[in-house]
Amino acid sequence: MDVNGTKIDRAWERLFARHDILARIKAEGSFRIASAQINEAQEARLMAKFDQSIYLPDIFRANRLSILPVTRGDYLIGPFVTHEPVNYQTAQ
């Protein structure tokens, strides 16, 4: 990754700053954000889908946060465990 992060990382940094998301999570336990708010920075469907934990934006990983859809147009950001490690057994 380049020094400035990915486009999605930078967009989330702007959203976290604009909406004071970390302080709101600290005070309330989570932060509800509308897809319209996310769309102000980047397309919401691209900003909120992370199939593997390694794809979470830096600000999410650094603060142990994740994002979940709660309605068709709203998401919840908080300290949720959304990814689990997978250990495969080898067949013998």
The tens digit of pLDDT for each residue in 16-29 reads: 999 999 999 999 99
Question: Is the distance from CB of 56 to CB of 64 less than 8 angstroms?
Answer: no
Is 36 in a helix, a strand, or coil? helix
Tokens standing for 24? 């709101």
Cα–Cα distance for residue pair 2/31, rounded to 1 Å? 28
Whole-number pLDDT of residue 69: 93
Integer CA distances (angstroms), 5 to 2, 12, 41, 62, in order: 5, 11, 15, 13
Is 71 in a helix, a strand, or coil? coil
* Residue position matching structure tokens 């691209």: 46
pTM equals 0.84
Cα–Cα distance for residue pair 63/65, rounded to 1 Å? 6
Whole-number pLDDT of residue 3: 44
pLDDT in tens, 12-68: 999 999 999 999 999 999 999 999 999 999 999 899 988 888 889 999 999 999 999
